[in-house]
Amino acid sequence: QLVASITQRKIDLERDFTPIALGMDQPYLLAVHPSVPVRTVDELIRFVRSRPGEVVYASAGMGSAGHIAMELLRMAMKVEMIHVPYKGAGAALADVVAGQVPIIFSSPLGTVPLIRAGRLRALAVSSGQRMATLPEVPTVHEAGIKGFSTAAFLGLFGPPNLPREIVNR
């Protein structure tokens, strides 16, 4: 019954669920292959606009957090790009590192080592604050897309109005 009622209206996390625990909150890194002649989000916007309908980006798959983050960014930048979905982050990152696809919004777990090795160039982080592991990389908001902030999260939720004593246990 809960599933039926949620599918008939917009999901409201506060109304439809009781939060129990946040397991993870992870930003994503906007990165490019070093051959891409951009070092900032502003330069990326100009680069994509100068090649309408030609610039592609990789993701770990349709509906993945990186795909959604890039689509949100693409809409905020008001540019057209072509999505190339892969069957997982490893395959997507491999093709970006190889220069087959120029751009990716990816998890720091696989991306930070490639940035530090010079195999990818970080342009921005998706969350509202910089990452401690790459403090020199600005947020997308700081880079000029005001109000942009997104991150993947894993959490545990219960049904609406779950008693506090059950949540605490």
Structure confidence by residue, pLDDT tens digits, 111-164 = 999 999 999 999 999 998 999 999 999 999 999 899 988 887 788 899 999 999
**Does residue 13 carry a pLDDT above 80?**
no
DSSP secondary structure of 81-143:
-EEEE-SSHHHHHHHHHTTSS-EEEE-HHHHHHHHHTTSSEEEEESSSS--TTSTTSPBTTTT
**Amino acid 14: pLDDT:** 78
Average pLDDT for 26-50: 96
Confidence of residue 4 (pLDDT cuts 50, 70, 90): low
Q: Does 6 score more than 50 pLDDT?
A: no
CA pair distance 78, 74, nearest whole angstrom:
6
Computed over every residue of the chain, the mean pLDDT equals 90
User: Structure tokens of 108?
Assistant: 């720091």
pLDDT in tens, 55-105: 999 999 999 989 999 999 999 999 999 999 999 999 999 999 999 999 999
Token pair in block for residue 13: 């996390």
Structure pTM? Answer: 0.81
The H-or-E segment that residue 38 falls in is: none
Q: Is 124 exposed, middle or buried (0-12, 13-18, 19+ CB in 10 A)?
A: buried
Do residues 85 and 101 make contact, with C-beta atoms less than 8 angstroms apart? no
C-alpha torsion sign, points 118, 123, 129, 135: positive
Q: Which residues of 24-37 are buried (b: 16+ CB within 10 A; e: fewer)?
A: eeebbbbbbbeebe
